[in-house]
Amino acid sequence: MKTLKTITLAIVAIMMLAACGNAGAQNDKKADKTQKAVKELNAESFSEKVYDMNSEELVFLGDKPVIVDFTASWCGPCQRIAPILEELAVEYDGKIIIYKVDIDKERGLAQSFNVSSIPAILYIPANGNEPVMTIGARGKEKFKEEIATFLM
């Protein structure tokens, strides 16, 4: 009887460990997907994907609307909107591209767009309309309103 109880407990323990391990693997896959949704740009990749900063005239290089989040690791409001932008990048996948630029690493790029406060969000429509810059943190619904207004 004692052996049967020990074997049963061992089987239950193994099943629980397997379930926890699988849940962790699924969470890791989910986290990997959202962590990669917003790509960080440096000045060189910005010039290849968004605007050629070496050109005298800014010509949009993309074929989809773009959001650029000018951010910094020390900025509390920037950190609060980062997960929202990750969610939006997944929701609008294939329709909008969302990038981020660390202003501490890319001071010249931030200065080119007169970024003096962060978070600064640059909306760049693909239809040739003028880009729009907004400043400050906001919730997901406000971002969706701005996407509808500025990009769609």
pLDDT classification of 35: cutoffs 50, 70, 90: low
Query: What are the Cα distances from residue 128, in Å, to 15, 122, 145?
Result: 57, 14, 20
Q: What is the pLDDT of residue 82?
A: 96
Which pair of tokens denotes residue 107?
A: 């001071």
The string over 83-107, giving b where at least 16 C-beta atoms fall within 10 Å of a residue's C-beta and e elsewhere, is: ebbbebbeebeeebbbbbbbbeebe
Contact criterion met (CB below 8 Å) for 72 and 78: yes
Q: Would you give the DSSP letter of residue 105?
A: T
CA–CA separation, 50 and 98 (whole Å): 11
Q: What is the pLDDT of residue 54?
A: 84
Is the pLDDT higher at 122 or at 12?
Answer: 122
Task: Provide the residue ranges of all domains of the chain, joining segments of one domain with +.
Answer: 1-36, 39-150
Give the pLDDT confidence of 51-94 residue by residue, as tens digits.
888 888 888 898 899 999 999 999 999 999 999 999 999 999 99
Q: What is the pLDDT of residue 19?
A: 43
Q: What is the pLDDT of residue 55?
A: 82
- Is residue 25 over pLDDT 50? no
DSSP string for 24-74:
HHHHHHHHHHHHTTSEE--HHHHHHHTB-TTSSS--B--SS-EEEEEE-TT
Query: Which residues are the active-site residues?
Result: 75, 78
* Strand partners for 40: 100
CA–CA separation, 138 and 145 (whole Å): 11
Give the pLDDT confidence of 85-144 residue by residue, as tens digits.
999 999 999 999 999 999 999 999 999 999 999 999 999 999 888 999 999 999 999 999
Q: What is the pLDDT of residue 43?
A: 92
Q: Which fold has domain 39-150?
A: Glutaredoxin (3.40.30)
